[in-house]
Chain A
Amino acid sequence: EIVLTQSPGTLSLSPGERATLPCRASQSVSVNYLAWYQQKPGQAPRLLIYGASTRATGIPDRFSGSGSGTDFTLTISRLEPEDFAVYFCHQYGSSPQTFGQGTKVEIK
């Protein structure tokens, strides 16, 4: 099974700053089948990015994904107040599918 590692567990940033969230896989993710989700308290996750770099429908362009193989990154170019949340990476290229442990982006 592919283990996804998200570190750090928490990022403390200010609105307007750039956020860079890494996700490292224990082995290569097939066909870059890597997704990112945003989750706010009491809500279901929301798909942001799939295929490592394609934004889902309705996602603002300040969110971008990059990477391939074992190293992936979610970048939020300028943090808006509504972006403070937990972000999870997810690989769906091989079974069993797996999620990372999440990175919380909190207000500094």
Chain B
Amino acid sequence: QVTLRESGPAVVKPTQTLTLTCSFSGFSLNTPAMCVTWVRQPPGKALEWLALIDWDGDKHYTTSLETRLTISKDTAKNQVVLTMTNMDPGDTATYYCARMDGSVGAFDIWGQGTMVTVSS
């Protein structure tokens, strides 16, 4: 059974750096065509794709946030980490990680999400 779970702080202050961890099981990021991605959703709003890392270590970022985002993986721990610098109240959202299986292509399994509030 494939599962993903996000973890990180519920509240961060403006200008701080957010670090989120996606812990997964049931698949390996060493498997060709496997990827893990991050998506966020402000309250009551649409989904926004943030970043993706693939089995080969290639990384992709959304254009508008590229300078603030870093995605990395620890294959041995089955974890993917997303950092976002210079947090702003506008970054308040639920942050999801999800798996992208190359045989499907889309995000087939999602974590439950973690709500992050940016407030002083």
**Interface residues of A, Cβ cutoff 8 Å to B:** 1, 33, 35, 37, 39, 44-47, 50-51, 56-57, 88, 90, 92, 95-102
Contacts and interface: CB of A to CB of B under 8 A. Distances in A.
Given A44-B112, A95-B60, A96-B49, A51 B105 contact: yes
Nearest to A33: B105
Nearest to B111: A44
Nearest to B48: A99
B105 A92 contact: yes
5 contacts: A44-B98, A51-B106, A97-B49, A97-B60, A100-B46
Given A33-B106, A90-B49, 11 more contacts: A33-B105, A35-B105, A35-B106, A44-B112, A45-B39, A45-B107, A50-B108, A90-B47, A95-B52, A100-B46, A101-B46
- Chain B, interface SS category: strand
B1 interface: no
Given A44-B96, A44-B111, A88 B46 contact: yes
Interface of B: 37, 39, 46-49, 52, 60-63, 96, 98, 100, 104-108, 110-113
Contact of B107 (A35, A51, A98): A35
A95 B107 CA distance: 15
Shortest Cβ-Cβ A-B pairs, 7 listed: A35-B106, A50-B106, A44-B110, A99-B47, A97-B49, A96-B62, A95-B60
